[in-house]
Structure 1
Amino acid sequence: MLLATSLTGCFAAGTGQAAASGTESARIQLAMMQPPRSGLTPLSDDAFKHARWKTAETLVVLDDLGEAQPALATGWEQVDGTAWRFTVRQGVSFHDGTNLTPAEVAASITAATQASPKPRILDGVELTVETDGNDAVIARTATPDPLLPQRLSSPQLAVFAAAAYKEGGVVDPVNAGTGPYRLVSVNGTSSARLDRFDDYWGERAEAPGVDVQFVPDGTARAAALRTGSADVVEAIPVGQVAQIDPALVHEVPMPRTNTLYLNTKSGPFADPAVRAAARSAIDAGTIVDRVYEGRADQASGLLGPALPWAAGERTSDSYVEALAGRVAATAVKGTPIRLGTFTDRAELPEVAVQLEQQLEAAGFTVEQDVREYQHIESDALAGAFDAFILSRATVLDSGDPVAYLYSDFSCAGSFNISQFCDPAVDEALAKAAGIPAGPERRSAIAAAESLILARDAAIPLLHERVIQGESSRIRGVERDPRERALISSGTGLTGDSPK
């Protein structure tokens, strides 16, 4: 209740200013779930906030089918087996008043390729970008990459003004993007202010600005929607939905899987038979019913219903044969395991409780470690847990799941919580990555998924639906399964006063 009151008061302060200014009263009040993890640097997952706020842009964007469409590039063509030429849009201004040129495009993307860690969209990719005359850049990979245009749609490869890049690899995104909204200021992990950028090259933003509050507590976010102090609310917890006017709640099916990652390198789950025992012990349907109140889909694989082709691929003979070869489960008696997850997604601690009960019923002894994500991520990546529950987007970066599978399950993956390394899986992922988009690529992706599941490196539990809140006075909010879009140029207020 204190958190909810604090949030409401914070938004109310902005509304109070609105009484003296019609412009301020038309500003959008946005409550986001996760605070910045890395000072809003675009070379981290914070890049997706810039995409959802429309403060920064990439060379291309993806349509509903995952096909590349023009953005800061007006067109592109493949020059040879490893090189693509992108024509850079003319007449684009950065928020600091400088002009977009091919040099800025090349410098921004090069900075991403040299970052440590580098963006996961570049896992396994050697990419160089150089200018080509006054109107284009050449992007070249070490090996042929049929999905390079889609890859360049990743928010982590957004283009910023030269002044944003500081010594030591630091990137300051304030006043440095090209989008319809300008990032004016950031107050640590508490809030951010966006103002309309009137010199935007595209459609002028309808709202004069956006006031962002970072609210990890799901109860507080739901309260902000109920009281009318927030216009748009990210990720309302399932347990709060019943207390909200149904007209304000919108379910968006997500390419996001709630998965239990098992540490395959050290501890009890280094034994495949013990991993199989965990898989056999888990009843995901109970978790869907009790924790998500039926507002999720039980998983049969890593890729969910947001990729409708995946279910059909699982009926192939090769897929069925791979799963049939899984190691049999062994009996466990008092085997201790350390189970981790985070509080930022309100359902995950409840999932941990259900999993603890199920695993202990099978003979495991479970110790839970639950923290905010920013305080637990490094431990998870370092292999500090025997098992870790993660809500993971599966096509977040390129619109194609190969990048996610490579990041999480390849020997060189940068997000390999399972500490998993299998040459056969690496070979399957490499094969899928080299095939152009289409049926053959989809079959290769499914083959890689089957090998990962056959090793029990991870146990997919369910596929989430995000529950997005929108007040009665807001219109034009994006409902994006990929979690890239939220506020757009067409998002605005109806003119009604907040409650």
Structure 2
Amino acid sequence: MKKPALTLAAVLALPALTTGCFSGGAGGADGADGSGDQRLRLAMLQPPRSGLSPLSDDAFKLSRWSTAETLVELDDAGDPRPGLATSWEQTAPREWRLELREDVVFHDGTPMDADAVAGALQAAVDASPVPRILDGFSLDVATDGDDAVVLTTGEVDPLLPARLSSPQLAVLAPAAYDGDGPVDPVGTGTGPFELVASDGTAGATLDRFDDYWGEPAAAAGIDVSYVPDGTARGAALRTGEADVVEAVPVSQQAGIDPDLLHEVAMPRTNTLYLNTDRGPFADPAVRAAAREALDPARIVADVYEGSADEATGLLGPALPWAAPLREGGSWAATVGGRVEPATPAEVDGAPITLGTFTDRAELPEVAVLLEQQLEDAGFEVTQDVREYQFIESDAIDGAFDAFLLSRATVLDSGDPVAYLASDFGCEGSFNLSQLCDPAVDAAVEEAARTPAGDERRAAIIAAEAELLATDAAIPLLHERVSQGEAAGVRGALRDPRERELVDSGTRVER
């Protein structure tokens, strides 16, 4: 097994080290097989929070490295396409049959068959907490011979194929699920790169998998460093210490060759979540006062230097259908509850705690402006800013009166319903606002039942309207993310859904 890559923070602290020292892995910069193929060096935004378990948000790292794969993938338009399953058929209102790809082997050499796939899906169904994509969702899994599985849902689910594209439902070898500990992705995926070492919150090492079922990887491997500090990520790109860099902060871009920066419009909304369960924001009128106090345009101009879009809702320009539906009012016919927010209260010295995290470099700056704007409206603000891994559990538990979050809105299935249910449903697993509102739940459930297409999109905007009327979440802006790519990088993926970064065709020429 290879020695894990040296952390990027250590590299940046030692100027005398050469670029090759960053490469890690037994094969070094020239590749494990001596062919001269280069290894890719990635500087990732956040370290794992759950030991790279595919049943957590860490699954998106495994997906971005092309080591763990799903039965279904999404095309650029968000429609399902074959992955480890070659086809699927709805055989009954609640039943789907999926044919599995032949000749797929896991990285540990075991074949992928129906039993392995069913075991992986069952592990997700049985997990506690359940993966977000299965939050409130019933799924029974059965095999149909050696090369097909049959999935039965508790209710009719028109989006099951898209749901199966979530990286949290990646299929790993049976060995990954052995024992009572966390799911172990090391050496158990199916992708073109095999995860051979994971060094906690420092980095990870992947090698090309020569028995991959698809196009073999052009790069010899991948050396990953987790670099939460935005200044360090910018420096890694500027100095050539990394080949592909996630989320280069606006504040670091002035000193970087613009040809190395690639802006991607993201389905990611910078949102202020207000605690509806306790404290001052339990009062809808006080939440309305906070909404009226905020000036998103100033945040876009001062912090993002214009490289963001002021929010008019939770769903931004990366979902081009949302704004026309919202502006046209076609959602109104499906709304059965309240869509008008409360009248703002007068605020005089109400103390509130405002939390956010440092991993996205702009958020602490945004928090400073929010503090100023809220204090101008009569609130007394105390900030709590930490790395995300050290603040997430407190945020989920409702420890803050307000929490500023950069949130992906279609991360799981390419459809916003899962995000709305997770973040704003009474039983939602990521309900930072602690919201439990029957009208919101009913609107989200209606959207979930509606078949794909224009009718479903209108129902989604109706649910958004119900949610915004509570002022439990105040959308501020929609982010555009700048991805850094060194001059020799070819074929890096610029994915708005943040599922893909490196694939078989990605390579670097030094």
Q: Which TM class, normalised by the smaller chain length?
A: over 0.9
CA displacement at 1:315 relative to structure 2: 2.4
Q: Which residue of 2 aligns with 1:291?
A: 303
List aligned pairs for 1:295-306, cutoff 5 A. Answer: 295-306=307-318
Letter of the structure 1 residue corresponding to residue 12 of structure 2: T
List aligned pairs for 1:10-25, cutoff 5 A. Answer: 12-15=20-23, 17-18=28-29, 23=35
List aligned pairs for 1:254-333, cutoff 5 A. Answer: 254-317=266-329, 325-333=340-348
User: Are the counterparts in 2 of residues 115 and 169 from structure 1 also a CA contact under 8 Å?
Assistant: no
1:404 corresponds to 2:419: yes
Q: C-alpha separation between the residues in 2 aligned to 1:454 and 1:18?
A: 55
Q: C-alpha separation between the residues in 2 aligned to 1:483 and 1:400?
A: 14
CA displacement at 1:129 relative to structure 2: 1.2
CA-based RMSD: 1.8
Q: C-alpha separation between the residues in 1 aligned to 2:187 and 2:504?
A: 18
Q: Which residue of 2 aligns with 1:341?
A: 356
Q: C-alpha separation between the residues in 2 aligned to 1:316 and 1:469?
A: 37
User: Are the counterparts in 2 of residues 11 and 29 from structure 1 also a CA contact under 8 Å?
Assistant: no
Specify the SS of the correspondent of 2:180.
Answer: helix
User: Are the counterparts in 1 of residues 339 and 466 from structure 2 also a CA contact under 8 Å?
Assistant: no
Specify the SS of the correspondent of 2:286.
Answer: helix
List aligned pairs for 1:341-490, cutoff 5 A. Answer: 341-490=356-505
1:96 corresponds to 2:108: yes
Identity %: 64
Q: C-alpha separation between the residues in 1 aligned to 2:358 and 2:455?
A: 39
CA displacement at 1:168 relative to structure 2: 2.0
Q: Residue 166 of structure 2 is aligned with which of 143, 154, 172? A: 154
User: Are the counterparts in 1 of residues 270 and 475 from structure 2 also a CA contact under 8 Å?
Assistant: yes
Q: C-alpha separation between the residues in 2 aligned to 1:152 and 1:127?
A: 11
Q: Which residue of 1 aligns with 2:154?
A: 142
Task: Describe the shift of the 1:152–1:11 C-alpha distance in structure 2 as closer, same or farther (beyond 3 A).
Answer: farther
Q: Which residue of 2 aligns with 1:112?
A: 124
User: Are the counterparts in 2 of residues 265 and 418 from structure 1 also a CA contact under 8 Å?
Assistant: yes
Q: C-alpha separation between the residues in 2 aligned to 1:173 and 1:295?
A: 36
User: Are the counterparts in 2 of residues 4 and 220 from structure 1 also a CA contact under 8 Å?
Assistant: no
Q: Residue 208 of structure 1 is aligned with which of 191, 213, 220? A: 220
User: Are the counterparts in 1 of residues 331 and 461 from structure 2 also a CA contact under 8 Å?
Assistant: yes
Task: Describe the shift of the 1:20–1:28 C-alpha distance in structure 2 as closer, same or farther (beyond 3 A).
Answer: closer
List aligned pairs for 1:159-170, cutoff 5 A. Answer: 159-170=171-182
CA displacement at 1:106 relative to structure 2: 0.6
CA displacement at 1:6 relative to structure 2: 2.8
Q: Which residue of 2 aligns with 1:56?
A: 68
Specify the SS of the correspondent of 1:100.
Answer: coil
Q: Which residue of 2 aligns with 1:194?
A: 206
Specify the SS of the correspondent of 1:75.
Answer: strand
Q: Which residue of 1 aligns with 2:13?
A: 6
Letter of the structure 2 residue corresponding to residue 239 of structure 1: S
Specify the SS of the correspondent of 2:375.
Answer: helix
Specify the SS of the correspondent of 1:30.
Answer: strand
Letter of the structure 2 residue corresponding to residue 310 of structure 1: A
CA displacement at 1:202 relative to structure 2: 0.3
Task: Describe the shift of the 1:7–1:239 C-alpha distance in structure 2 as closer, same or farther (beyond 3 A).
Answer: farther
Specify the SS of the correspondent of 1:207.
Answer: coil
Please, which runs of 5 or more residues in structure 1 have no aligned partner? none
User: Are the counterparts in 1 of residues 31 and 220 from structure 2 also a CA contact under 8 Å?
Assistant: no
Matched residues, number: 495
Letter of the structure 2 residue corresponding to residue 6 of structure 1: A
CA displacement at 1:110 relative to structure 2: 0.7
User: Are the counterparts in 2 of residues 3 and 217 from structure 1 also a CA contact under 8 Å?
Assistant: no
User: Are the counterparts in 2 of residues 4 and 219 from structure 1 also a CA contact under 8 Å?
Assistant: no
List aligned pairs for 1:27-106, cutoff 5 A. Answer: 27-106=39-118
String of CA shifts for 1:219-261, please: whole Å, max 9, x gaps.
1111111111111000100100111000000000000000000
Letter of the structure 1 residue corresponding to residue 143 of structure 2: T
Specify the SS of the correspondent of 1:390.
Answer: strand
Specify the SS of the correspondent of 2:322.
Answer: helix
Task: Describe the shift of the 1:7–1:216 C-alpha distance in structure 2 as closer, same or farther (beyond 3 A).
Answer: farther
Q: C-alpha separation between the residues in 2 aligned to 1:236 and 1:375?
A: 22
Q: C-alpha separation between the residues in 1 aligned to 2:194 and 2:101?
A: 19
Task: Describe the shift of the 1:3–1:432 C-alpha distance in structure 2 as closer, same or farther (beyond 3 A).
Answer: same
String of CA shifts for 1:5-27, please: whole Å, max 9, x gaps.
23874854145943798557611
Q: C-alpha separation between the residues in 1 aligned to 2:329 and 2:182?
A: 50
Specify the SS of the correspondent of 1:79.
Answer: strand
CA displacement at 1:353 relative to structure 2: 0.2
Please, which runs of 5 or more residues in structure 2 have no aligned partner? 1-7
String of CA shifts for 1:166-208, please: whole Å, max 9, x gaps.
3225211100000000000011110110000000000000001
Q: C-alpha separation between the residues in 1 aligned to 2:180 and 2:268?
A: 34
Q: Which residue of 2 aligns with 1:226?
A: 238
1:237 corresponds to 2:249: yes
CA displacement at 1:456 relative to structure 2: 0.4
Q: C-alpha separation between the residues in 2 aligned to 1:2 and 1:157?
A: 32
Specify the SS of the correspondent of 1:413.
Answer: coil
CA displacement at 1:83 relative to structure 2: 0.7
Structure 1-normalised TM-score? 0.96
List aligned pairs for 1:166-185, cutoff 5 A. Answer: 166-185=178-197
Q: Which residue of 1 aligns with 2:5?
A: none
String of CA shifts for 1:116-154, please: whole Å, max 9, x gaps.
111111112101211011210001111000000000000
Q: C-alpha separation between the residues in 2 aligned to 1:54 and 1:69?
A: 16
Specify the SS of the correspondent of 2:21.
Answer: helix
1:124 corresponds to 2:136: yes
Letter of the structure 2 residue corresponding to residue 110 of structure 1: Q
